[in-house]
């Protein structure tokens, strides 16, 4: 007998905690069982029954070229035949570091990791080692991976599941992390007035994507740069989502602000597990083996990950002029959807930044975690299931970003608008 989706999930749940290897893949907040995927190509993803969906999750951001891009796939397949990992340096790592430095000049020296979590964890340790200070600050609703110091009032699955902090993180450690409201310049000023000389680092998503999409308000990041510089605090831009999503480079390229350290992940791995931390030479040189701040990784700079990443970044480099078309597509999608909601008389606030978007089920505006939380998550859940039925793959949470890829066509957008119209009829 052919296995159904619920058979797959039941079997997974016997062997894997909650049936998933990352909690955001569970459907806790929308109800039902996660759909198991068989394969994906371009803008489409296919479940185990063969049903096709237009994918706006894109593996939570990485697949900006669309799934299984032929050049990336061919490069990885060929590379695999030469061996998967050596635990010794390869030239591809140098090529990767040079390409990233070229795209993001503030990243003068780099270290590759196998995940975004390792990159941010390393950035924090490095900032502490460099400054000799212990405290750090972050912003409510920003997610920087699941390292202990950063999992305080975090976004992503933590907001979705309504977990305030996490058991297992010692209170002594949590006390060293200050979490401030996003976009609140006054709170930032007060925090640096009070703790400026004790803060090793302030880490921020320059465009927040893990409480749903929340753009930085005018002056917020500028003030952050000014206050961190003034107080000798290491400014860390977590560009794990935004790196190479808006241009060949980071969001920092677009706004002309240079952080001291930058974290990357997602897109730079082309779908393979990857992360990178880089920044000012004098800070980066504190890392072992040049310095005494320890960090390591058996699979860091893995040949297959470098290969997928290099292929992806080299293609993006040729597409610098295509980003505006990608933005336009996203804009049109959001504008038309907003129109449909307003015709139907359902409140929606759509935050759209280049090729990232979130439809918040509320009037808005949404500019921080508290305002994001005002959304009608029950209504969102119904919308999510309606869209899914109509062939649209959205993140199973109100508090996540949607993404477009270069592979999304005008026809995909038309189909999505049509699916939205059908979904709203029955909402």
Ligand X SMILES: *Cc1c(COP(=O)(O)O)cnc(C)c1O
In the window 148-177, what residues touch ligand X (CB under 6 A)?
A: none
Write the DSSP symbol of residue 22.
S
Question: Nearest distance from residue 25's CB to ligand X, in Å?
Answer: 12
**Quick one: residue 24, left, alpha or beta (phi over 0 = left, psi -120 to 50 = alpha)?**
alpha
In the window 232-271, what residues touch ligand X (CB under 6 A)?
A: 238, 240-241, 265
Q: Which of 53, 143, 182, 251 is catalytic?
A: 143
- Contact flag: residue 103 with ligand X (CB under 6 A): no
Termini Cα distance of the chain: 35
CB of 62 or CB of 66, closer to ligand X? 62
CB-closest chain residue to ligand X: 116
Is 143 considered catalytic here?
yes
Question: Nearest distance from residue 325's CB to ligand X, in Å?
Answer: 24
Site string for ligand X, 200-229 (x = CB under 6 A): -----x---xx-------------------
Is 195 considered catalytic here?
no
Question: Nearest distance from residue 263's CB to ligand X, in Å?
Answer: 7
Stretch of 71-79, 143-151, 370-378, 392-400 contacting ligand X, by CB under 6 A? 143-151
Distance of CA 427 to the CA centre of its chain: 29
Number of residues that bind ligand X (CB under 6 A): 15
Single residue of 19, 42, 145, 279 touching ligand X by CB under 6 A = 145
Question: Nearest distance from residue 124's CB to ligand X, in Å?
Answer: 12
Q: Which of 238, 260, 368, 412 is catalytic?
A: 238
d(CA 214, CA 219): 15
CB of 353 or CB of 413, closer to ligand X? 353
Residues 6+ apart with CB under 8 A from 113: 119, 122, 274, 275, 276, 277, 295, 297, 300
Distance of CA 142 to the CA centre of its chain: 10
Q: Please, are residues 121 and 148 in contact by the beta-carbon 8 Å criterion?
A: no
φ/ψ (deg, to 5) at 381: -60, -40
Cα angle value 212/215/218 (rounded, 5°)? 160
- Contact flag: residue 402 with ligand X (CB under 6 A): no
CB of 216 or CB of 275, closer to ligand X? 275
Cis status, amide bond into 264, omega within 30 of 0: no
- Contact flag: residue 117 with ligand X (CB under 6 A): yes
**Cα dist from 154 to 138, 143, 206, 208, 353, whole Å:** 9, 5, 15, 11, 21
CB of 245 or CB of 329, closer to ligand X? 245
Is 412 considered catalytic here?
no
Q: Please, are residues 277 and 262 in contact by the beta-carbon 8 Å criterion?
A: yes
CB of 121 or CB of 337, closer to ligand X? 121
Question: Nearest distance from residue 224's CB to ligand X, in Å?
Answer: 16
Q: Which of 79, 153, 266, 329 is catalytic?
A: 266
Write the DSSP symbol of residue 23.
G
Question: Nearest distance from residue 182's CB to ligand X, in Å?
Answer: 13
CB of 9 or CB of 139, closer to ligand X? 139
CB of 65 or CB of 268, closer to ligand X? 268
Q: What are the residue ranges of helices labelled H in 70-196?
A: 70-80, 91-103, 116-131, 157-160, 171-174, 185-195
Query: How many C-beta atoms lie closer than 10 Å to residue 219's C-beta?
Result: 11
What the block records as the tokens of 92 is 């591809």
In the window 272-331, what residues touch ligand X (CB under 6 A)?
A: 275
Q: Given the structure tokens 């477009």, which residue do they identify?
A: 404
Reference 351, options 141, 171, 110; nearest CA is 141
Known catalytic residues are 143, 238, 266
**Which residues would be at the binding site for ligand X (CB under 6 A)?**
115-117, 120, 143-145, 205, 209-210, 238, 240-241, 265, 275
């Amino acid at each position: 007998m052919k296995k159904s989706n619920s058979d797959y999930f039941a079997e997974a749940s016997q062997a894997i905690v909650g049936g998933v290897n990352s909690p955001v893949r569970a459907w806790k907040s929308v109800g039902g069982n996660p759909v198991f995927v068989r394969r994906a190509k371009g803008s489409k993803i296919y479940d185990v029954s063969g049903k096709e969906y237009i994918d706006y999750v894109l593996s939570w951001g990485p697949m900006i070229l669309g799934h299984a891009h032929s050049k990336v796939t061919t490069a990885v397949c060929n590379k695999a035949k030469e061996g998967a990992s050596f635990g010794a340096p390869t030239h591809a790592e140098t090529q990767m570091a040079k390409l990233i430095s070229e795209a993001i000049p503030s990243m003068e020296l780099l270290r590759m990791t196998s995940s975004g979590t390792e990159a941010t964890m390393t950035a924090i340790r490095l900032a502490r080692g460099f400054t000799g200070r212990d405290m750090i600050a972050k912003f409510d609703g920003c997610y920087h991976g699941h390292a202990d110091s950063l999992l305080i009032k975090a976004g992503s699955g933590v907001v979705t599941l309504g977990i305030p902090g996490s058991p297992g993180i010692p209170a002594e450690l949590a006390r060293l992390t200050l979490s401030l409201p996003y976009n609140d310049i006054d709170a930032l000023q007060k925090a640096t007035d009070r703790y400026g000389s004790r803060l090793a680092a302030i880490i921020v998503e320059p465009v927040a994507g893990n409480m749903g999409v929340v753009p930085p308000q005018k002056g917020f990041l500028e003030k952050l740069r000014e206050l961190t510089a003034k107080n000798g605090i290491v400014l860390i831009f977590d560009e794990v989502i935004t790196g190479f999503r808006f241009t060949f480079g980071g969001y920092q390229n677009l706004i002309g602000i240079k952080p001291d350290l930058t974290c990357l992940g997602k897109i730079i791995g082309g779908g393979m597990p990857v992360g990178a931390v880089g920044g000012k030479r004098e800070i980066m040189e504190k890392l072992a083996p040049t310095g005494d701040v320890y960090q390591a990784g058996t699979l860091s700079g893995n040949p297959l990950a470098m290969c997928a990443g290099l292929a992806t970044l080299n293609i993006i480099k040729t597409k610098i002029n295509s980003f505006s078309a990608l933005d336009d597509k996203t804009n049109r999608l959001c504008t038309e959807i907003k129109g449909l909601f307003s015709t139907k008389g359902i409140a929606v606030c759509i935050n759209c930044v280049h090729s990232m978007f979130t439809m918040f089920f509320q009037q808005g505006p949404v500019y921080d975690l508290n305002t994001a939380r005002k959304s009608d998550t029950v209504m969102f859940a119904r919308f999510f299931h309606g869209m899914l039925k109509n062939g649209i793959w959205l993140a199973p949470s109100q508090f996540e970003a949607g993404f477009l890829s270069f592979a999304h066509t005008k026809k995909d957008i038309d189909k999505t608008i049509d699916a939205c119209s059908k979904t709203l009829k029955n909402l």
